[in-house]
Amino acid sequence: MKTQKISEAVVRRLPIYLRFLNELAMKNIMTVSSQDLGQKLDLNPAQIRKDLAYFGEFGKKGIGYDVSYLIEKIRQILKLDRHIQVALVGAGNLGRALCNYNTYLRNDMKIVAVFDAMPGKAGESINNLTVQPMHEMKQTITKLGVRIGIITVPAVEAQNVANQFVECGIEAILNFAPVIIKVPADVRVHHADFTTELQSLAYYLD
Amino acid sequence: MKTQKISEAVVRRLPIYLRFLNELAMKNIMTVSSQDLGQKLDLNPAQIRKDLAYFGEFGKKGIGYDVSYLIEKIRQILKLDRHIQVALVGAGNLGRALCNYNTYLRNDMKIVAVFDAMPGKAGESINNLTVQPMHEMKQTITKLGVRIGIITVPAVEAQNVANQFVECGIEAILNFAPVIIKVPADVRVHHADFTTELQSLAYYLD
DNA sequence: TAGATTGTTAATCGATTAACAATC
DNA sequence: TAGATTGTTAATCGATTAACAATC
């Protein structure tokens, strides 16, 4: 009901629910229980019910959840019912790879601009987009209404890019560079660093 | 002291400590306090001390932590003091991008084999590695002593690849495909899915 | 109706933080 | 010695899970 603060853990699970619900919808499955969901997603059914209950009563007692209704609701909660424009800085291998997910993201989110500081990169084309030089960032981001920024530059450049994003009024950042970046409290940052992920996996080897 | 179970949250922070300590070492900074560390990494100093204390007494009261000693210790804890061989399946854009981090991973972890199911891909070369067909996986993984697998194939293929990894005796998997994969309990799986990460960011837009 | 499953409360479990004696 | 900072205990905070009345 949005009065209480929703924990980050809950918000991180919502896209996972959504993804699986979309799979069900494609298979023309109309209804799903928290039991089913929990089994497929390796989560406790009570947790799933509780997560959803933070936002409303989406299920029917004795029946379960209507798949397409729940999809609609989760998309609303995540604000994926609107178009959200994304910009990416760093047209290296990783940046290119992420741009190619554009089709995958359906309509909801879309990378609409790519920037790179290297003079040689500007003008290159990636999947319908043309790489732009950094000095065009402010203007392009304003014009296209970009709200989320992705950082795929080397670690030493990441903070600098983050600063520029903030300057442009970006509201949230997904940072792939292996470094903690600092931004004002009203800008949301998620870290998606492959190297730390891999290193923590090593711990679990025997 | 490894008798109690260490929480996942702790293990995930260790590589972040390590990364920053390496930065300090490069700047020839000899000593660091939990205070400093906390400030730079946006973490509570007490938490950092507690995390480290699970594994031993690495600091000096009144002084702080010796940077290079702590690096050595964390590398031991994470098992990064040995060479760990990694294999990757899915030589698409993302797979290529990750292979290029090889240099970045220093000596500790290394992607030593790349596989792809598409006949056209086999034989291609990525950063010193030659893409191999899937049927060579078992033999190569055994020969090279690969212990960790990375999945960068489309979602529909991911479970299949995971099964093959398990079959080959892989101990841990980093899955980039947007799907939950099922493996035996003794295989560790971490999910690194860019799309769910991005979707959860959208929630925090105003 | 009987069986199933939700939404929600209460219980449990675990993780973070504060506080401080020990000590460099 | 005085100041700083650890390692650790206790307090707090938050998240997960169990249980069950409500009800489809």
The pLDDT assigned to B205 comes to: 94
Residue A81: closest C-alpha in chain B? B202
B70-124, pLDDT tens digit by residue? 999 999 999 999 999 999 999 999 999 999 887 666 668 999 999 999 999 999 9
pLDDT for A2 equals 42
Quote the CA–CA distance of A198 and A37 in Å, as a whole number. 28
Question: What pLDDT band is residue B2 in, cutting at 50, 70 and 90?
Answer: very low
Q: How many CB pairs under 8 A join A and B?
A: 166
- Measured distance CA(A149)–CA(A111) in Å, rounded: 9
pLDDT averaged over consecutive 10-residue blocks of chain A (206 residues)? 76 97 96 97 97 97 97 96 95 93 74 96 94 98 98 96 98 96 95 93 94
Domains defined for chain A, CATH in brackets: 8-77 (1.10.10.10), 84-197 (3.40.50.720)
In the block, which residue shows the tokens 């560390």?
B37
Strands A31-32 and A64-66: antiparallel
Instruction: Tell me the pLDDT tens digit for each residue of B31-75.
Output: 999 999 999 999 999 999 999 999 999 999 999 999 999 999 999
pLDDT digits (tens, 9 = 90+) for B145-199: 999 999 999 999 999 999 999 999 999 999 999 999 999 999 999 999 999 999 9
Residue indicated by tokens 């029946």:
A63
Compute CA distances B127 → B100, B137, B140, whole Å.
7, 19, 18
**What does the pLDDT read at residue A96?**
94
Exposure of A48 by Cβ count < 10 A (0-12 exposed, 13-18 middle, 19+ buried)? buried
Nearest-CA residue to the C1' of D14? A7
For residue A110, give the H/E element and its range.
strand A109-116
- Which segments within chain B are labelled E, that is strand? 31-32, 59-60, 64-66, 84-89, 109-116, 125-126, 129-133, 148-151, 172-175, 188-191
State whether B18 and A105 contact (CB < 8 Å): no
- In the sheet that holds A59-60, the strands lie side by side as A31-32, A64-66, A59-60
CB neighbour list of residue A15: distance below 8 Å, 6 or more residues apart: A78, B195, B196, B199, B200
At residue B106, the pLDDT reads 65
| pLDDT, position B5 | 85
Q: Strand C: which residues have Cβ below 7 Å from it?
A: A 32-35, 45-46, 49-50, 52-53, 57-65; B 7-10, 43-44, 46-47, 49-50, 60-63
Q: Which residue has the tokens 């499955």?
A: A29
User: What pLDDT is attached to residue A181?
Assistant: 96
Q: What pLDDT was estimated at residue A105?
A: 62
What pLDDT does residue A133 have? 98
For chain B, the average pLDDT equals: 94
Q: 3-state DSSP call for residue A34?
A: helix
> Is pLDDT at B135 greater than 60 in this prediction?
yes
Report which secondary-structure segment, H or E, holds A16.
helix A8-26
- Site from B152, B198, B205, B206 to mutate, A interface, most A CB atoms within 10 angstroms: B198
Q: Which residues pair with residue A189 across a beta bridge? A: A173
Residue of A127, A124, A128, A29 lying closest to A70 (CA atoms)? A29
- Which residues are CB-neighbours of B197 under 8 A, at least 6 positions away? A174, A190, A192
